[in-house]
Amino acid sequence: MLRLSIAGTALLFLVVACGARSTNTPSTATVVALTSSTAAVMTARTVPPVVTTTTAAPRSSTTSAVSGLNILRIDGVADVDFGTPMDAALARFEEILGPPDRIETEGTNECYWSVEELRLAYWDSEGLRLVFTDWDGDTEQPSPAPMHLSDWEVVGPGVTTDLGLGWGSSTEELKTIYSQAMFGIDELAPTFFLEFPQGWMIGALDWNFADYEAAVHTALAEHGVASVPEFMDSQGMDDALDVLTALGLPPGDIPIGWIHAGAGPLCD
């Protein structure tokens, strides 16, 4: 389970938003000031460089993608489940969305489970990135498996979840569509979390960091505490997963800038 935990007075940040769209990336000093003078802040990992790129032929008028498709499920995309072999999955997605704009191939990746390689398929006009991995699902003794669909990511306007949540949706819409939404602290951007029987959906909020920092400080002051660790102690919280929610944040008009479901990301 993805968690942000506190040990003593040190708040550790889980970097879940690899590639998340953030208006302002805070410095380490700013993050420490936001949380605690003794906070231990994890360094954000970067995705390994792309080694191969395949670009699809330009789409014809008969294969252009249709925007606004509500096709993203917690356990797959449209009628394609996570775990579907890559060739079969791509063939189906071409029927739904047209061919991908490009497919990038990488080696092992810190953000996603992969043994030898990872492939990322992009539909730019749909704001969609699909992740295919060769991980067999065993964390004890991982070994290569056939390339298969493992993750989807919303990285721009276009496709949405089956209930209509997408890039640019407001946090008020998020709370209305998914009443179980939790909002937590993250190093790069404030983050939301949704838990389902089939897995997790996570995402980053496109919230100007200066405004985010000010809102957190104001909320902490209203609770009579000076830092996030102190607030967590006062509330008997041992998990920063839902800190923003407990502080009454974020405001309802903050837009969503990234959404993810699947086996990763694992930048922790």
Residues in the chain: 268
pLDDT of residue 267: 60
Average pLDDT of the chain is 78
Report cis status (omega within 30 of 0) of the bond before 265: yes
Q: How many Å separate Cα 225 from the centre of its chain?
A: 29
Cα atoms in the Cβ-side hemisphere of radius 13 Å centred on 236: 0
Phi–psi pair at 217, nearest 5 degrees: -60, -40
Q: What angle do CA 137, 106, 194 make, to 5 degrees?
A: 50
| Closest of 258, 255, 248, 252 to residue 172, by C-alpha | 252
CB-based contact 116:134 (threshold 8 Å): yes
| Closest of 17, 1, 7 to residue 260, by C-alpha | 17
pLDDT tens digit sequence for 14-53: 223 333 333 344 433 333 334 332 222 222 223 333 334 4
Report cis status (omega within 30 of 0) of the bond before 250: yes
Report domain extents, the chain.
Answer: 6-45+170-243
Confidence label for 206 from pLDDT (cuts 50, 70 and 90): very high
The single-letter code of the amino acid at 197 is P
Element (H, E) at 244: helix 243-246
Q: Quick check: 57 pLDDT over 80?
A: no
Model confidence pTM above 0.85: no
Q: Quick check: 8 pLDDT over 50?
A: no
Q: Quick check: 3 pLDDT over 50?
A: no
Stretch 227-234: mean pLDDT, rounded? Answer: 95
pLDDT tens digit sequence for 106-157: 988 877 888 899 999 999 999 999 999 999 888 888 889 999 999 999 999 9
* Beta-carbon contacts of residue 76 (< 8 Å; ≥ 6 apart): 82, 84, 149
CB-based contact 70:161 (threshold 8 Å): yes
Q: Quick check: 60 pLDDT over 90?
A: no
